Amino acid sequence: MRTVDLIVGHHFDLLAKRAKDIAAGGVLMSALFAVIIGSLIFIPRFIELLN
């Protein structure tokens, strides 16, 4: 996102803020999906190990 900062300069730009917020939301969603998929894969194996 440094490129957005360089293009915008030193003034506030609402479009740049929205682009950064959307990118951050995408990263957050990817992390949440990774946790969900990892849980679906590994929790049954951990339960099997404990029994």
The per-residue pLDDT string of the chain (51 residues; one tens digit each, 9 = 90 and over) reads 666 666 667 777 788 889 889 999 999 999 999 999 999 999 999 999 998
Confidence at residue 39, expressed as pLDDT on a 0 to 100 scale = 96
Confidence at residue 8, expressed as pLDDT on a 0 to 100 scale = 67
The pTM of this model reads 0.68
Confidence at residue 1, expressed as pLDDT on a 0 to 100 scale = 62
Annotated binding site: 20-21
Annotated binding site for ATP: 20-21
What string of DSSP letters covers 1-51? Answer: -HHHHHHH-SS--HHHHHHHHHHHHHHHHHHHHHHHHHHHHHHHHHHHHH-
